[in-house]
Amino acid sequence: MASQPLKVRWKARRNRMFASRAFQYWTARLPFSRPISRNRAGTMFDHIVGFSYSRVLLAVVESDLLQLLKDGPISAAFVAARTDLSEDAALCLLRAARALDVAEEVLPDQWMLGQQGAVLAANAGAQAMIRHHRLLYRDLAEPLELLRKDRKEATELSTYWSYAGALQGTAERGQETTEYSELMAASQHFVADEVLASFSFPKRGSLLDVGGGHGAFLKRVAEAYPDLRLGLFDLPEVVETGKTSLASAVGEERLGCHPGNFFEDSIPTGYDLVSLVRILHDHDDGPAQQLLTNIRASLTPDSRLMIAEPMAQVPGAEAMGEAFFGLYLWAMGSGRARSPKEIQLMLKTAGFSSSRLVATPQPVVASIIVAQA
């Protein structure tokens, strides 16, 4: 048998060393390596018990504890009376929230928001996703069974989204399409803030948001760029339910609404920039490539496409890209998180002349790729 490459042999030796109890004890006792050892142990422990952390957050959100703490300081008895919990149970929840920096005991039995709690209380999108994730956790109760399923089999997530059915425009999917758009709107500001902090839009140009739902992303961009002409392209029922409020928010004179299916219909032309915000990773490779090719066909040589979504193998966001979105999209029955290199190769295949990765402050929320037609 041919010898293994040096890189493989080195990794194997490293793994044997890290697995050694003697090495673990030795690094835990040495002053220079003790912080590293403690950090690694803490990280692994967080991986092991992370499910409990997420359940604490769900209990905090569903009990409305954030609002109670926001008006604090309050006592455990006060929390108990307003959450239908015993005082002992309320104190257990408060202590668990304290451990996650969501709550803080500022005086004996006087509780207020912690630093993380203050951030979470102000973020309706994060709270919406915490509530929504109960569906994912049901699907992940037996992760191997989920992975062994045919991806077309129904899951909690796929039943809720019914996204493929919504794309077919069937009448019975209308309500589910509305729920999809509403949840995306609740959390869309995450990505919008990352994009606005990292990418400069043409101040007097035009932007078409493909798959833009009820226009949450366009509303944020419109505030920052008051002279930018805007376009929304999405399913007919989505455009119909969202166009009135969107026009009211951004100005009817600067908005174009285009109903259609972005796989089957031509993408509206005449825009300097087209955006795909958290759209590409929802679709398998074949449909995703089809979508990019369809967009490229609508663009003039001086137009650009901007893709903004969580991506795989991005430094600082590796776990979000493949550990979270990998399983989330598997449970959803469609799509996957792709690395920037994979997306750029797809863009080249679609006919784009060039593309570049744009760094964002928080890649766990989104990374950006801009492609030139």
Cis amide linkage into residue 73, ω under 30° from 0? yes
Burial 315-348 (b: 16+ CB within 10 A, else e): eebeebbbebbebbbbbbbbbbbbebebbbebbe
What confidence score (pLDDT) does residue 42 get?
67
Close Cβ partners of 117 (under 8 Å, ≥ 6 residues apart) = 60, 66, 69, 97, 101, 102, 103, 104
Going by their DSSP bridges, the two strands 354-358 and 304-309 should be labelled as unpaired
Average pLDDT over residues 343-352: 97
pLDDT tens-digit readout, 106-152 = 999 999 999 999 999 988 778 888 888 888 889 998 999 999 988 88
CA pair distance 162, 144, nearest whole angstrom: 22
- pLDDT tier at 164 (50, 70, 90 boundaries)? very low
Find the range with the poorest average confidence among 11-20, 211-220, 273-282.
11-20
Handedness of CA 218, 222, 224, 225 (dihedral sign): positive
Helices (H), 149-269: 156-161, 163-167, 174-198, 216-224, 236-250
Strands across the sheet containing 304-309: 255-259, 229-234, 206-210, 273-277, 304-309, 367-372, 354-358
Q: Higher-confidence residue: 58 or 4? A: 58
pLDDT of residue 9: 80
Q: Among 284, 372, 289, 285, which Cα is nearest to 334's?
A: 284
Calculate mean pLDDT across residues 286-305. 95
CA-nearest of 135, 53, 137, 136 to 102 is 53
From CA 347, how far away is CA 293, in angstroms rounded? 8
Exposure string for 138-160, b = 16+ CB within 10 A, e = fewer: ebbeeeeebeeeebeeebbbbeb
Query: Helix, strand, coil proportions of the chain in percent (round to 5)?
Result: 60, 15, 30
Residues 6+ apart with CB under 8 A from 291: 262, 263, 276, 279, 280, 283
The confidence score (pLDDT) of residue 351 equals 96
pLDDT number for residue 371: 97
The answer, yes or no, to whether residue 102 has pLDDT greater than 70, is: yes
**Residue 341, token pair as written in the block:** 């290199």
**Single-letter code of the amino acid located at 215:** G
Contacts of 307 (CB under 8 A, 6+ apart): 275, 276, 280, 343, 368, 369, 370, 371
Indicate the pLDDT class of residue 31, thresholds 50, 70 and 90.
Answer: confident
Domains of the chain in start order, with CATH, are 24-121 (1.10.10.10), 125-372 (3.40.50.150)
Which pLDDT band, with edges at 50, 70 and 90, does 186 fall under?
low
The rounded mean pLDDT for the chain is: 87
* Helices 174-198/216-224 angle, 10° precision: 30
Identify whether the C-beta of residue 278 lies closer than 8 Å to the C-beta of residue 206: no
Residue 331's Cβ-side half-sphere holds a number of Cα atoms within 13 Å equal to 26
Its pTM stands at 0.80
Please check whether residue 306 is in contact with residue 276, taking contact to mean a CB–CB distance below 8 angstroms. Answer: yes
Q: What is the pLDDT of residues 357-371, one digit of tens each?
A: 999 998 888 999 999
Nearest one of 254, 264, 350 to 307, comparing CA atoms: 350
Q: Is the pLDDT score of 175 beyond 80? A: no
d(CA 85, CA 66): 16
The pLDDT of residue 320:
86
d(CA 320, CA 314): 9
pLDDT at 183: 63
Alpha helices, H only, 75-155: 76-83, 87-99, 115-121, 124-139, 143-148
> How would you label 91-122 residue by residue, b for 16+ Cβ within 10 Å and e otherwise?
bebbebbeebebbbeeeeeebbbbeebbebbe
Q: What is the model's pLDDT at position 238?
A: 87
CA distance 180 to 128: 12
